[in-house]
Structure 1
Amino acid sequence: MDYTERLKNVSVLGAAGKMGSGILLLTAQELVNQTLKQKSNEQKFVLNAIDVSHNALDGLLKYIRAQAQKFAEKKIVQIREMYADHENLHENSDFIQQYVNDVVDIIKPTTRIEAAYDSKLILEAVSENPELKNKLFKQINTNNDNHPWFFTNTSSIPIQEINNNAGLNGRLMGVHFYNPPAIQKLVELIKAESTLPELAAFAAQYVKNLKKIIVPSADIAGFIGNGHYMRDTKYGIDLATELSKNMPLSQAIATVDVITRDYLVRPMGIFQLADYVGVDVVQYIMKVMHDRNIDKNLHSTLLDRMVKSGIKGGQNSDGSQKDGFFRYEKGRPVAVLEPDKMDYVNLESIQSEMQSYLGDIPAGIVKWKTLLTAADKHQQLTQWFANIQKDNSKGSQLAKAYLQKSKDIGLRLIKDGVAAKDADVNTVLITGFFHAYGPINDFIN
């Protein structure tokens, strides 16, 4: 069965979710590309969008249509080339509308999992729940005579474990898209010990056709991305806990967030990022790694208390940020959690205490956003961290220790065989987490 034949009938599970909708869009676009390349109508493609909610599926099609239009408007030259033999299309608007219609028309929304029984490829993007994944895979595998291949978007659960529990006999591949899939360039490919070689080759071709950056990861819980991020976050929690011996925990949390954002030149502080990912998601992935003996240190009673109190972070349906370690107004953190009371303290009220504790930030500070397009990014970072290394303020001392810890975590991923080389770790953090630089570096000696 060749590449296009495998794509003849595809199903996406969890299609209306945050990850599933992006994966569905990308797959629909790839199917349209394959349709146009074959120059005939012999090969019909079907893309089943499977989810539990009719309302969510209605909203999904609106999302797909809007995103397909944005893509076509941005890539109008490419779209005109794709439809060059369509003599009925003349204006840019004609080409754009034709492309949007083709993307939407290939999608078949349904709440019935039975639609997947005819598919040759199943892409799974349901919640990070191994029992649910196993149940769905088993049901489809039992009722599908095509011996389908399965992609799972899990960000932490070992692929071989899912394969064994669902009885898929090597027909499973980890294809971990980063959020949001339509924008994020990174995909981690995770091949289990039993994954069929032809499935691995197909997955690589599929992701390559989506114009994504591929980084292979060993099949070890957490993989490269969460293998680093979870340990990095746990270090931040432990550091805040240590600092709270001399200050309120709320101030300690805000202080560590400043260190990781401003001093380490990241797009978000470590606690704001946890809010974005979801406090409950961070807690769960740490548990996945902890329970599989990947890292016995990956457990936080602070996260447990927050989740138990209903403080979970994540986003509302309109995309706005829910409260977590911080309370947000118009997308900006305005108050920080005081865990002892499970209440929030205005950030303005503790700014002077934080400034006094951290000391003056060294000269020559660089901003993450300005580095995105800077031709001399490495030079600026080298100078900035040299200034930090020479500075004796508390803020610089904490930053140096955090930077070294982040590097140690990256090197551990190499040592443990999760990543094959330094560049893979750095690519994941730069591309998947939008860091300005990789954790394995020589900025601090």
Structure 2
Amino acid sequence: MNIETIAVCGAGTMGRGIAQVCATAGFATILFEPNSEVLRNAKEAVHSSLQALAAKGKIGAPDEILNRIFFTQNLSDCTAQLVIEAIVEQPAAKVGLFTQLATINDAATIFASNTSSLSISELANNLPHPDRFAGLHFFNPAPLMKLVEVVAGAQTDPEVIKTLEALVARLGKTSVACTDAPGFIVNRVARPFYIEALRQAEAGVEMETIDRLMEARGFKMGPFRLMDLIGNDVNYAVSCSVWEQLQQPERLRPSPLQQEKVEAGHLGKKSGKGYYTYDKA
């Protein structure tokens, strides 16, 4: 399939970033979000991001790119050749959304989840067209991060994976194909990076010291700054998901320190406070 129209469901940090990437690559893009304030903030954030990229000479015609995105609160507007979901990491919510989307799209539409760690196969088992469902995992911030994981579930048609890999190339990104597994590739590999840093903090080592040491050894960002960028709610949810799916190994047990941050609403940059304090996004 030659995809020309893309709908993105969910206008949070990831959803609006994915929509921006699609529009920048020339696709007619629909961004759906039922919450009017979130949708309004998304439009403002995309506009600011495009203006900043244009000022640096990285893109041209930012207003033209923005005009390729149709911002809507109506799910019925989400008819496209590809629908990408970027909502809360809760299986029931995702299945409910995709079930509704299947009723308003035609037989050729491909559905993809941006989930960080939920099983693509298990989600697909509850969907009307499991062969047309796959994972399409972008990384935050989507406009800047080059890697996209293309995840095949047990029932995903191989042609769907080929189509998504071709799409990722058109987006100017680099795809890595992987089969469904806890945390896929990147989040599976990254768990010890976060968990061990949290263990050290629990033992009394200052978080800023840990970040400085890791950055001095070549990491672009230390674990605590990176968790704040990703969102502590998202990062903690992924840790819990991977831990559960791997039968709760002690080495990957989620940290109570991060759980406390999530319960306190200290989610990182998007909330204004996490392990560090920020101007609220």
TM-score normalised by L of structure 1: 0.56
Root mean square deviation of aligned Cα: 2.8
Match of 1:322 in 2: 273
Q: Which has the larger radius of gyration?
A: 1
Q: Classify 1:58/1:177 alpha carbon distance in 2 versus 1 (closer, same or farther; 3 Å).
A: same
Which residue of 23, 26, 41 corresponds with 1:28?
23
Which residue of 172, 184, 196 corresponds with 2:133?
172
Which residue of 9, 12, 16 corresponds with 1:17?
12
Match of 1:299 in 2: 253
TM-score normalised by L of structure 2: 0.85
2:232 touches 2:274 (CA, 8 Å); kept in 1? no
Structure of greater relative contact order (alpha carbons < 8 Å, 6+ residues apart): 2
Q: Classify 1:279/1:72 alpha carbon distance in 2 versus 1 (closer, same or farther; 3 Å).
A: closer
Q: Classify 1:145/1:290 alpha carbon distance in 2 versus 1 (closer, same or farther; 3 Å).
A: same
1:149 Cα deviation from its structure 2 partner: 0.6
Distance in 2, Cα, partners of 1:13 & 1:275? 23
Q: Classify 1:304/1:313 alpha carbon distance in 2 versus 1 (closer, same or farther; 3 Å).
A: closer
1:283 touches 1:299 (CA, 8 Å); kept in 2? no
Match of 2:223 in 1: 270
1:205 Cα deviation from its structure 2 partner: 0.9
Counterpart AA for 2:76? E
Deviations for 1:267-321, whole angstroms, at most 9, x for unmatched residues?
333233323323332221111112212652322352365146505332236xxx4
Q: Percent identity?
A: 27
Q: Classify 1:265/1:126 alpha carbon distance in 2 versus 1 (closer, same or farther; 3 Å).
A: same
Distance in 2, Cα, partners of 1:209 & 1:167? 28
1:170 Cα deviation from its structure 2 partner: 1.5
1:261 touches 1:270 (CA, 8 Å); kept in 2? no
Distance in 2, Cα, partners of 1:273 & 1:120? 34
Distance in 2, Cα, partners of 1:20 & 1:190? 18
Aligned ranges for residues 239-254 of structure 1 at < 5 Å? Answer: 239-241=200-202, 244=203, 249=204, 251=205, 253=207
Which residue of 119, 124, 132 corresponds with 2:80?
119
Aligned residues: 278
Match of 1:290 in 2: 243
Deviations for 1:339-360, whole angstroms, at most 9, x for unmatched residues?
xxxxxxxxxxxxxxxxxxxxxx
1:120 touches 1:146 (CA, 8 Å); kept in 2? no
2:236 touches 2:259 (CA, 8 Å); kept in 1? no
Distance in 2, Cα, partners of 1:295 & 1:258? 30
Which residue of 89, 95, 110 corresponds with 2:72?
110
Are residue 197 (structure 1) and residue 161 (structure 2) matched? no
Give structure 1 stretches of 5+ with no counterpart.
33-45, 77-95, 332-445
Counterpart AA for 1:229? A
Counterpart AA for 1:268? M
Deviations for 1:170-210, whole angstroms, at most 9, x for unmatched residues?
11121111111111111122122221122111111111011
Counterpart AA for 1:24? A
Give structure 2 stretches of 5+ with no counterpart.
none
Which residue of 42, 46, 49 corresponds with 1:60?
42
2:233 touches 2:262 (CA, 8 Å); kept in 1? no
